[in-house]
Chains A and B, each alone.
Chain A
Amino acid sequence: MVLRGASILAQCAARVGQQARGKAHFTFQPSTAIPAGLENVERSKMNLMQSVNEAMRIAMRTDDSAVLFGEDVAFGGVFRCSVNLQKEFGKDRVFNTPLCEQGIAGFGIGLAVSGATAIAEIQFGDYIFPAYDQLVNEAAKYRYRSGNQFNCGKLTVRTTWGAVGHGALYHSQSPEANFTHTPGLKLVVPRGPIQAKGLLLACIRDPNPCIFFEPKILYRMAVEEVPTGDYVLPLGKAETVRPGNDVTLVAWGTQMHVALEAAQLAKEKLNLDVEVIDLQTIQPWDEDHIVESVKKTGRLIVTHEAPISSGFGAEIASTIQKRCFLNLEAPIERVCGFDTPFPHVHEPFYLPTVTRVFDAIKKTSTF
């Protein structure tokens, strides 16, 4: 019975597998520009998972107090981000915790309060909510409420983030807006391996508690020539990835690649030059950078995977509307996930795809 079942299931798996490996909703676009100051640094090919691993290795080599912990990180992590780190740094620096997110966050805060560098992993962003109290009421407010007597600035929480093709409700969420309403935290989302390494190292060394969201669909798919050695990219800075004069398009994480594809399509089909900006740091965000761009283009679209209502796009839209009122030539458009939980089989219909972003560019430019 077991054997027969096995062979049938194996056949099924093959067919389902072929289906699941259908076209992703975007194509990863490697960074063409190397960050300033790193032009002459040697580079090596890495995917996002490897660049995260490399960032943590460097952080731990340069700081004896740094420890890495979470669920299943000891054997290398369910996404292989911490692979070989326990071997290099020992069991007291890279270790599993009990399965308890509020404990992981609280434990990390305590390490940081004592002056140790804490790199905590929450296995999926979807499971960060049990730690919400520790992050929002505690980590974010530690320095403020104590009059700077204590702080947990050496805490970084890494967590996986975003759609993955089949993650449904609890392996797909983009919870950044749940945290942007809380002063005191820094929130960062990288779009590829080069940024992941530099921004994660910046988070780990920043004297404020940071949440670093890693787009899990990019872990293996995103491959780039990543500068070797130790480097950081600045927090709180957006990056113009594709310059243009007609429309400003703001995104972060995976959605950057959707945005870039839509911008290319708009160039080909509508002959529009869309300026695409990677926000990178969601809090505190680079307002001036977006303002400058919108003053030039007069049009703004913000796009994110998370649901539209009270998503971070709303904050950007209202801020830019206030600061660029006289420059705007069309209403600010938001292309986002719908106000539903993240669905399983309907993911292709849920996502703010290239088509939807393209359509928004078209409508905005002809308003």
Chain B
Amino acid sequence: MFRRVLPSVRRISAAKRFSSGVDGDSYRLNEYSVKYLGNREATFTEKLKIHDDKWAPTIPIYRVTDALGNVLDSSQDPKFYEQTSLKIYKTMTQLNIMDRILYESQRQGRISFYMTSFGEEGNHVGSASALEPQDLIYGQYREAGVLLWRGFSMTSFMNQCYGNSEDIGKGRQMPIHFGTNQLNFVTISSPLTTQLPQAVGSAYAFKRTPNNNRVVVVYFGDGAASEGDAHAAFNFAATLDCPVIFFCRNNGYAISTPTSEQYGGDGIAGKGPGYGLNTIRVDGNDVLAVHNATKEARRMALENKPVLIEAMTYRLGHHSTSDDSTAYRSAEEVETWGDKDHPITRFKKYITERGWWNDEKEKEWQAEVKKEVLSEFGKAEQRKKAHYHEMFEDVYDQLPPRLVRQRDELDKIIAEYKSEYPMETILPK
């Protein structure tokens, strides 16, 4: 080993002795620029300066409307047709109403868990509306609006929350862990950020497909961005040039942890350029801005240029039904955000101004959605759970012999102690 290495060390030191300083400088600058910095210009400086963390300007927040919903620069208005506008508005409100009902139902102990999307409806629908149905979505857990936009039925939402026999996830995961192959929405899992490097892998697979017309969009929160998997994903996406959009919902909190305790830099967007990601920060409560940003990001991603979008918003609801957020933030703060800036009220102005919406339509729509949610909720509640044999399926593509034996053991136990099990809640075999 040593003998092989040392002669080359000798050659390098000899080469150093005979090269002139100036040539060496330009050689190195070129090398650093091309090989080390991805063709970014490398320079020397003789001024000792440690760049403080506020050295670079913060990335501005792109918006189309102000907090009252007025379009500020008409060139940025996506000029939606009536139909699209109404679908956007209706999806946001539908999500909001579903959230309110399911939240209450958890409080009554009818489902075990729930997470609302209050205040973030604009993120979901603004981005989902800028994508194509074939684009693959990976979510964190607070992206139900994306599913609604894609046509995930109210029945499917309710079946999942109840884990009944018609849940396509077969009742195995906690409520809100939705997923559907048909709508290209990868099943949610609880471990934060694991979906990010996975999204990059899926994007790489798409990139290798001839005439690729698919991108991958992966949603995550500002807290999730602190996980190692976020670092992994940003770095892999940039070095492997993947058609992926990272969509960060920066809502100010990770459960009780404010962003000031989450990161020290210019938010999540501030990290983008450091990884070589194309980056934009957007007003997450402005559906139009989110839509425009996502649409442009999709165009770039299709050219295998990964994009990071940070959508600034505020988590109006509690983290989940297991959380009381007044323990770490004031009710007043929440109220103020809700009053001063809400994605639904902002967009309502857009459709009302154009004569596509009014109070009467609003009333009818609210009643219609409530009726549908409650009806589907009731039906889902009535459905039995799948037979317990279902618990053993899908661990592998086929049941290994050992698992068959374990299933048989449970059969025998249940045959003898039937009354100890909630048999009335499940379907017969």
Query: Contacts of B236 on A, CB cut-off 8 Å?
Result: 97-98, 100, 103, 107
Query: Contacts of A72 on B, CB cut-off 8 Å?
Result: none
The answer to whether B179 touches A146, judged by C-beta atoms less than 8 angstroms apart, is yes
Query: Contacts of B208 on A, CB cut-off 8 Å?
Result: 65, 67, 92-93, 116
B90 CB, min distance to chain A CBs, angstroms: 26
Question: Which of B189, B198, B206 is close to A145, meaning CB atoms less than 8 Å apart?
Answer: B189
Question: Which of A6, A102, A112 is close to B232, meaning CB atoms less than 8 Å apart?
Answer: A102
**Cα distance, A207 to B396, chains bound together (Å):** 8
**Cα distance, A143 to B187, chains bound together (Å):** 10
Residue A287 at the chain B interface, CB threshold 8 Å: yes
**Quick one: CB contact mask for B215-254 with A, threshold 8 Å, 1 for yes?**
0100000000000110111011001100000000000000
Residue B147 at the chain A interface, CB threshold 8 Å: no
A142 CB, min distance to chain B CBs, angstroms: 8
B395 CB, min distance to chain A CBs, angstroms: 5
The answer to whether A149 touches B169, judged by C-beta atoms less than 8 angstroms apart, is yes
**Quick one: CB contact mask for A80-107 with B, threshold 8 Å, 1 for yes?**
0000000000001101011010110111
Identify the stretch in B3-11, B112-120, B316-324 within 8 Å (CB) of chain A at 4 or more residues: B3-11
The answer to whether B172 touches A103, judged by C-beta atoms less than 8 angstroms apart, is no
Query: Contacts of A153 on B, CB cut-off 8 Å?
Result: 397
The answer to whether B400 touches A236, judged by C-beta atoms less than 8 angstroms apart, is yes
Residue B2 at the chain A interface, CB threshold 8 Å: yes
Residue A119 at the chain B interface, CB threshold 8 Å: no
Question: Which of B189, B233, B239, B400 is close to A141, meaning CB atoms less than 8 Å apart?
Answer: B189
B230 CB, min distance to chain A CBs, angstroms: 10
Known A-B contacts A13-B1, A137-B191, A287-B402; A100 and B231 likewise in contact (beta carbons under 8 Å): yes
The answer to whether B239 touches A3, judged by C-beta atoms less than 8 angstroms apart, is no
Residue B200 at the chain A interface, CB threshold 8 Å: yes
Residue A32 at the chain B interface, CB threshold 8 Å: no
The answer to whether A143 touches B394, judged by C-beta atoms less than 8 angstroms apart, is yes
The answer to whether B6 touches A137, judged by C-beta atoms less than 8 angstroms apart, is no
Residue A172 at the chain B interface, CB threshold 8 Å: no
B13 CB, min distance to chain A CBs, angstroms: 7
The answer to whether A114 touches B197, judged by C-beta atoms less than 8 angstroms apart, is no
The answer to whether A150 touches B181, judged by C-beta atoms less than 8 angstroms apart, is yes
The answer to whether A100 touches B200, judged by C-beta atoms less than 8 angstroms apart, is no
Query: Contacts of B180 on A, CB cut-off 8 Å?
Result: 149
Residue A366 at the chain B interface, CB threshold 8 Å: no
Residue B173 at the chain A interface, CB threshold 8 Å: yes
A65 CB, min distance to chain B CBs, angstroms: 7
**Cα distance, A87 to B395, chains bound together (Å):** 38
A-B pair number, CB within 8 angstroms? 172
The closest CB in chain A to the CB of B194 belongs to A138
Question: Which of A97, A110, A149, A183 is close to B168, meaning CB atoms less than 8 Å apart?
Answer: A149
The answer to whether A110 touches B204, judged by C-beta atoms less than 8 angstroms apart, is yes
Residue A345 at the chain B interface, CB threshold 8 Å: no
Interface residues of A in 235-282 (CB under 8 A from B): 236
Known A-B contacts A103-B236, A183-B395; A147 and B205 likewise in contact (beta carbons under 8 Å): no
Residue B167 at the chain A interface, CB threshold 8 Å: yes
Residue A10 at the chain B interface, CB threshold 8 Å: yes
**Cα distance, A6 to B11, chains bound together (Å):** 13
The answer to whether A114 touches B168, judged by C-beta atoms less than 8 angstroms apart, is no
Known A-B contacts A100-B235, A147-B169; A10 and B6 likewise in contact (beta carbons under 8 Å): yes
Interface size range on A against B: 35 or more
Residue B96 at the chain A interface, CB threshold 8 Å: no
Query: Contacts of B6 on A, CB cut-off 8 Å?
Result: 2, 6, 9-10
Q: Of A92, A114, A118, A287, which is in contact with the most chain B CB atoms at under 10 Å from its CB? A: A114
**Cα distance, A118 to B208, chains bound together (Å):** 13
**Cα distance, A153 to B397, chains bound together (Å):** 8
The answer to whether A115 touches B198, judged by C-beta atoms less than 8 angstroms apart, is no
Query: Contacts of A113 on B, CB cut-off 8 Å?
Result: 186, 198, 201-202
Residue A125 at the chain B interface, CB threshold 8 Å: no
The answer to whether A184 touches B1, judged by C-beta atoms less than 8 angstroms apart, is no
Question: Which of A111, A146, A236 is close to B205, meaning CB atoms less than 8 Å apart?
Answer: A111
**Quick one: CB contact mask for B170-187 with A, threshold 8 Å, 1 for yes?**
101100010111000011
The answer to whether B197 touches A134, judged by C-beta atoms less than 8 angstroms apart, is yes
Query: Contacts of B9 on A, CB cut-off 8 Å?
Result: 2, 6
Q: Of B180, B186, B403, which is in contact with the most chain A CB atoms at under 10 Å from its CB? A: B186
**Cα distance, A65 to B10, chains bound together (Å):** 46
The closest CB in chain B to the CB of A144 belongs to B394
**Quick one: CB contact mask for A217-251 with B, threshold 8 Å, 1 for yes?**
00000000000000000001000000000000000
**Cα distance, A106 to B168, chains bound together (Å):** 24
Residue B102 at the chain A interface, CB threshold 8 Å: no
The answer to whether B402 touches A107, judged by C-beta atoms less than 8 angstroms apart, is no
**Cα distance, A97 to B232, chains bound together (Å):** 10
Residue A109 at the chain B interface, CB threshold 8 Å: yes
A43 CB, min distance to chain B CBs, angstroms: 32
Query: Contacts of A167 on B, CB cut-off 8 Å?
Result: none
B225 CB, min distance to chain A CBs, angstroms: 15
Question: Which of B204, B231, B232, B395 is close to A143, meaning CB atoms less than 8 Å apart?
Answer: B395
Residue A208 at the chain B interface, CB threshold 8 Å: yes
The answer to whether B400 touches A143, judged by C-beta atoms less than 8 angstroms apart, is no
Residue A133 at the chain B interface, CB threshold 8 Å: yes
**Cα distance, A112 to B401, chains bound together (Å):** 26
Known A-B contacts A208-B397, A236-B400, A284-B402; A110 and B199 likewise in contact (beta carbons under 8 Å): yes
Of the A-B pairs whose beta carbons lie under 8 Å apart in the complex, a sample of 26, sorted by A's number, is A6-B2, A10-B2, A97-B236, A102-B197, A102-B228, A107-B200, A109-B197, A113-B201, A113-B202, A130-B228, A134-B194, A138-B191, A138-B198, A142-B187, A143-B395, A144-B394, A146-B179, A147-B167, A147-B172, A147-B394, A148-B170, A148-B393, A149-B179, A149-B180, A149-B187, A150-B181
Give the B-binding residues of A (Cβ under 8 A).
2-3, 6, 9-10, 12-13, 65, 67, 92-93, 95, 97-98, 100, 102-103, 105-116, 118, 130, 133-134, 137-138, 141-151, 153, 183-184, 186, 207-208, 236, 284-285, 287-288
Which 8 pairs between the two chains have the least Cβ-Cβ distance?
A110-B201, A106-B197, A103-B232, A110-B198, A146-B187, A284-B400, A114-B205, A147-B170
Give the A-binding residues of B (Cβ under 8 A).
1-3, 6, 9-10, 13, 136, 167-170, 172-173, 177, 179-181, 186-187, 189, 191, 194, 196-206, 208, 216, 228-229, 231-233, 235-236, 239-240, 393-397, 400-403
Given contact pairs A110-B202, A146-B181, A284-B403, a sample of 7 additional A-B residue pairs in the complex whose CB atoms are under 8 Å apart: A6-B6, A100-B235, A102-B229, A111-B201, A114-B136, A145-B189, A287-B401
